[in-house]
A = this chain, B = another copy of it.
Amino acid sequence: MPKETFFNLPAEKRDAICETAVTEFAAHPYEQASVNRIVAQAGIAKGSFYQYFENKKDLFLYLLQIMGKAKLDYLTPALQNPAQHDFFTLLRDMYRAGIQFAIDYPLYAEIGKKLLASKDDPILADVIEANMPAAQNFFAPLLLQAISRGEVRADIDVAMFSYMIAAMHTHVVEYHIDHIDPTYDETMMATLNQFIDFLQHGMGVENET
């Protein structure tokens, strides 16, 4: 957690520092990100930085915390009435929220992506271990509920599909960011609906009913 000195700063200066830091961590993974570059870009002295933060990790964890809150704001509406909709609708809403988050906060999304990629870094191990299983542990009960409701096949390996659903979420977001014009909301929804339909019915030719 940053020191009190940091929170005593005028809000605009605080935000400027955070913005600079976000840019740095979006451009370089944690280990490559440079405190020197951050202070130079933010126009503050090296010594000041260490009056605001314990160290590089302190700043990084603080940013992750802010990011987590922002992302939660996007996901919460989708999770409001978990019993209201069927599993695949819920999944679609969550994927859509994730995509929208990445569109609105591309730098946050980039940091998250890089973090996921460097999850075996020992210095970040505690953060990862604390938050990584979250995604899978989150989907597992949803899957079980969906099975009991008769929405999802009962013969699936829940652990594996929790893992894959979380992983696919990442890649769906990435695909949209890299390939879909973010201004065309309909295209995004069309592609997403198609993908959710695939999750439900597969990509094989449908059996004649």
**Total identical chains:** 2
Residues of B within 8 A of A124 (CB): none
Q: Which of B117, B163, B202 sits near A171, CB closer than 8 Å?
A: B163
A207-B191 Cα distance, complex, nearest whole Å: 23
- In the complex, the chain B residue whose C-beta lies closest to that of A110 is B120
Q: Which of B117, B171, B202, B209 sits near A209, CB closer than 8 Å?
A: B209
A205 within 8 A of B: yes
A167-B166 Cα distance, complex, nearest whole Å: 12
Residues of B within 8 A of A171 (CB): 163-164, 167-168, 171
A157-B189 Cα distance, complex, nearest whole Å: 13
In whole Å, how far is A125's beta carbon from the nearest beta carbon of chain B? 14
Taken residue by residue from 24 to 42, chain A's Cβ proximity to chain B (1 for < 8 Å, 0 otherwise) reads as: 0000010110000000000
In whole Å, how far is A169's beta carbon from the nearest beta carbon of chain B? 11
Q: Is the CB of B202 within 8 A of A200?
A: yes
Taken residue by residue from 125 to 161, chain A's Cβ proximity to chain B (1 for < 8 Å, 0 otherwise) reads as: 0000000000000000000000000111101110111
Write 21 A-B pairs (CB below 8 A) sorted by A numbering: A31-B31, A32-B32, A114-B117, A152-B204, A153-B204, A153-B206, A156-B198, A161-B198, A161-B203, A164-B172, A167-B167, A167-B171, A167-B174, A168-B168, A168-B171, A198-B202, A199-B204, A200-B202, A201-B202, A206-B207, A207-B209
Known A114-B117, A153-B205, A171-B171; 18 more pairs at CB < 8 Å: A29-B118, A31-B32, A32-B32, A88-B204, A152-B203, A156-B194, A160-B175, A161-B198, A161-B203, A163-B171, A164-B175, A164-B195, A167-B167, A199-B203, A199-B204, A200-B203, A202-B202, A207-B207
Q: Which residues of A contact B (CB under 8 A)?
A: 29, 31-32, 88, 114, 117-118, 150-153, 155-157, 159-161, 163-164, 167-168, 171-172, 174-175, 179, 191, 194-195, 198-209
